Structures are given as structure tokens and as C-alpha cells.
Structure 1
Amino acid sequence: MADSGSIVVTEARKQHPLSQIAASGTHRLLLKQWVKEEDLLARRVALREARLDGARKEIAFLYCAFFAFHAASVLLLFLSSSTAGPASACRRSWIPCLVSLLSSLAMLWALRYKSDTEAVLERLLAREREDALLLARAKSLRVEAKGADRPRRWQARDLAVFALFAVACGVLVLTRFLLCN
């Protein structure tokens, strides 16, 4: 019975890809360092994923706040224009329009900042995952030089910012229409 158990352990040890390194006393320290590095990379990946999830939640909150603000401002302007005289409301309409425009631009700036943060976190997470994958496969890391001065390409998050800017401008036009007509 004892012999069959030791045979199974020996066969399992031979099947493991690192069995030759673990068998050598001089390489055992290197193997332990490798396992520590693998654990460190796994923790870094988990931390980056948590930060990326937080950034995405903040972006979703900013989208909701943008639309909620404009819905509330249009509702308040409609209610105020129906109670006040049309001539006085039209003369003072530049104040709510200016406030709406400035707050829209502030929200769009915050949204753009958070989406840039999300893009940076995605790149860092991809790099950490690649490092972990390369370490797990025991491949050497290659440094690839990419041109740093290449022209900027428009991305999907830029399209969202432009669409929200168009919505803000539409609300501005709607505000003038509600107050002056």
C-alpha cells in the first residue's frame, strides 16, 4: 500500500512541468521567487479590476446625473415660463441658459476625465494581465517600441461626449423656445 502511494506521488511530480526545477536545490529558491511574483501579479490584476469597476460606476453616475439635471432644468423652466409673463421670461432667459450651459460643460469635462481614467486603467490592466500570462508561461518579456508621436484617433468615448454636448445644446435651444414662445 505504501509503495503504490509513493508511486502515484512520484508520477504526479514527474508530470508537473516544474518538477525538474523543484528537484534541484539550487533552483528551488528561483522557483519560490517565481511563485511570489506570480502571486504579486495576481493581486495587482485584482486591484486594477476593482479600480476599473469603480471608474465605470462613476461614469454611469455621471451619465445619469447629466440627463437628470437636464430633465429637471427643462421641467423647472417650463413651470416658470407658464406662471410668469412671456416678455419678462424671455428677457431673463439668458441666466438659466448660461447656468445650464456651464453646468453641462462641467459635467462633460468630468465625464471626459473619467473616461480617460478608464482608458488608462484598461491599458494598465491589460499590461498586468499580459505580464501574468507571460510569467505563467515562462516566456521572456519583449519590449516593443511604439511611436509616441502618432496622431490621435477619435474613440467611442469621444462620440459619447459629442452626443451629450449635442443634447446640452438641444436643451439650450429648447430653453429659449419655452421661455420666448
Structure 2
Amino acid sequence: MDSQSSHVVDISTAVISGKESHKQANSGELALQYHPLNQIVESPGHLLLFKLWQREEDLHGRRAAALEARMDAAKRAVFHLSCLFLAFHGLSFMLLFNASVAGASCHGWWLPCSLSLTTSLAVTVAVQAVVHTYWRISRRLQREREDGRALARCVRELRMKGADFDLSKEPQKSSKRMKSSSVEVKWRPLAWCSRNLITICLLSVAGILFPAFRFVLCS
């Protein structure tokens, strides 16, 4: 009798555990069915939009990486031109100093000074062109990053909402003009000076070296 009761208890426990596992399996299937990613897969429109936005997000990342590489190349170009500028004037100053020690005439002072000024202007124009390109690329990179962030927000919202996401929604372009025009006019000269600081320094050095060469030759 005891053995029969124990068998009955074991069978009832197994049935209960089987029902619980079946309920858990059904709840797991329901959770997967209503998961946002599963809803996106089952909806052709949402799936197409998801793939398009992922592809566009990847393109934004690649374009941003390419722009960063161009900015690094521009930095190296400015550094090399600045080193060339300083090396040329250092060598010129040393040669003129040796000529003045050797007793060279002061009548031809305008020739080395003109050569120095012409070279300085040529290098400065080249540096300014590279600097202008650098800041133009920097603005493009900033726009690419802002568009990429807006697109990433939309992709994240699509993943969270699933089929409830509005297909007519587009990534919002950020409006950057937060300051008033008076503040922009007030800070614009300072911003221009900070962006063209290297060009200003090169022009200042050229302006100082022009009379310095004449002083070295004629002193």
C-alpha cells in the first residue's frame, strides 16, 4: 500500500513539473514573438528601414574616418612647411652673418632681404592654404558626426520599439546656431585669429627677419 501511494505522488509531481516547464516554454516563445527585433524581422518595411539605416550608419563612420585621416595629413603638412620655413631662415641668417664678418658690402642688402621676404610669403601662403583646408574638413567632420549620432538615435529607437516605430520618421539634423548674431560677431575675430595662429606667427617672423637681415649686413 505504501509503495502504491509513493508511485502516485511521484507521478503527480512529474505531471506538475511537466506543466510548469510547458508554461515556461510558452512564455519564452511569447517573449520572443513580441521582442522588438523579432517584430522588425517579421515586418518587411521595418526590416528594410533597419538595414538601410545600418548601412548608412556604416557609411557615416567610414566617411568620418577618411576625414580624420585627411586632417592628420594636413597637420603633418603644416608641420613640415613650418620646419622648412625655420630651417631656410636659420641657414640664411647664418650665411649673412658670416658674410658680414668677412666684410661684405652693404650695397646689396636688398637682394637677400627680398629673397627672404619672397620665400616667407610663398611658404606662408602654402601654410594658409593647408590651414584653410584643415578647418573646412573639420566642419565637414563635425557635420558627419552629428548626422551619425542622429542616425544612431533613430536606429536605437527602432530596436527598442520594433513594429511600433513610425516608418515616416527621419533622423533629425541638429541645429547648431544656438548663439545670437551679436555674440557671433563679437567672437568671430577671436575665432579667426585662433584658427590662423600659425599663419600670423609666420608673417610676424618674416616681418622681424626682413630688417634683421639688413642690420646684420650693414652693422
Give the TM bin, normalised by the shorter chain: 0.7 to 0.9
Cα deviation, 1:47-68, whole Å, max 9, x if unaligned, reads 1111111111101111111111
- Alignment-derived partner of residue 163 in structure 1: 201
Q: Could you tell me which residue of structure 2 aligns to residue 109 of structure 1?
A: 125
Which residue does 2:116 correspond to in 1? Answer: 100
Q: 1:19 to 1:91 in 2, by over 3 A?
A: farther
User: What TM-score comes out, normalization by structure 1 length?
Assistant: 0.81
Cα distance, 1:37 vs structure 2: 0.8
Listed one character per residue, the Cα deviations across residues 155-176 of structure 1 (whole Å, up to 9, x for unaligned) are: 3133332222111121112111
Q: Which residue of the partner structure matches residue 135 of structure 1?
A: 151
Fraction of identical pairs, as percent: 40
Contact 2:57 2:151 in 1 (8 A): yes
Tell whether 2:61 aligns with 1:30.
no
User: 1:18 and 1:132, CA in 2 relative to 1: closer, same or farther beyond 3 A?
Assistant: farther
Please state how far the C-alpha of 1:72 moved relative to its aligned partner. Answer: 0.8
**Given the superposition, is the C-alpha separation of residues 40 and 119 from structure 1 closer, same or farther in structure 2, using an over 3 Å criterion?**
same
Deviation at 1:28, TM superposition (A): 1.2
Rounded Cα–Cα distance in structure 2 between residues aligned with 1:78 and 1:111: 28
Task: Report what 2:84 is aligned to.
Answer: 65
1:143 deviates by: 6.9
Please list every run of 5 or more consecutive structure 1 residues that lacks an aligned counterpart in the other structure.
Answer: none
CA distance in 2 between partners of 1:47 and 1:70 (Å):
35
Instruction: Find the residue that maps to 2:150 and give its secondary structure.
Output: helix
Aligned AA (1:65): L
122 and 43 in structure 1: CA distance in 2 versus 1, 3 angstrom threshold: same
Is 1:173–2:189 an aligned residue pair? no
Which amino acid is the alignment partner of residue 126 of structure 1?
Answer: Q
Matching residue within 50, 55, 64 for 2:74: 55
CA contact (8 A) 1:22 1:31 kept: no
Question: 1:46 and 1:165 mapped to 2: Cα distance?
Answer: 33
| Cα distance, 1:130–1:25 mapped onto 2, change above 3 Å | same
Give 3-state SS (helix, strand or coil) of 1:155's partner: helix
After TM superposition, the runs of 4+ consecutive aligned structure 1 residues lying more than 6 A away are none
Aligned alpha-carbon RMSD (Å): 2.8
Matched position secondary structure for 2:196: helix
CA contact (8 A) 2:146 2:173 kept: no
Q: Which has the larger radius of gyration?
A: 2
1:20-55 CA-to-partner distances (Å, cap 9, x unmatched) read: 423423321221111111111111111111111111
Aligned partner of 1:79 in structure 2 is: 98
Q: Which AA in structure 2 matches 1:105?
A: L
